[in-house]
Amino acid sequence: MRLYKNRYYSHILREHPEFTRDFPLPTQEIERALTQATRTYAGQGKTRVYVGPEVEAKSDAGRCRVRVVVNVQEKDGWVVTAYPEIVL
């Protein structure tokens, strides 16, 4: 799977500023969610959603899980978006 630099800066960090607020290295959290997913499921259209393990955010957010949406193609996929969500 690929995380394109342009997509990372123009969409993921712009639409989800909590990534840089809560995690010193957001790309590592995205990679962790992809490689250590606790579950995956079909998203809309040709996407697959990866749900990462619980991680501790550095802000008051507490425990979070990172969800990564991947556009699945025949051989390769690319990261459409990624975002942390608070574990209640």
pLDDT at 59 over 80: no
State both tokens at 20. 């840089």
pLDDT given for residue 62 in this prediction: 84
pLDDT given for residue 74 in this prediction: 67
pLDDT given for residue 27 in this prediction: 94
Domain boundaries, the chain: 5-86
List Cβ neighbours of 6 (8 Å cut-off, separation of 6 or more). Answer: none
- Token pair 């959290």 is found at 29
CA 21 from centroid of its chain's CA atoms: 15
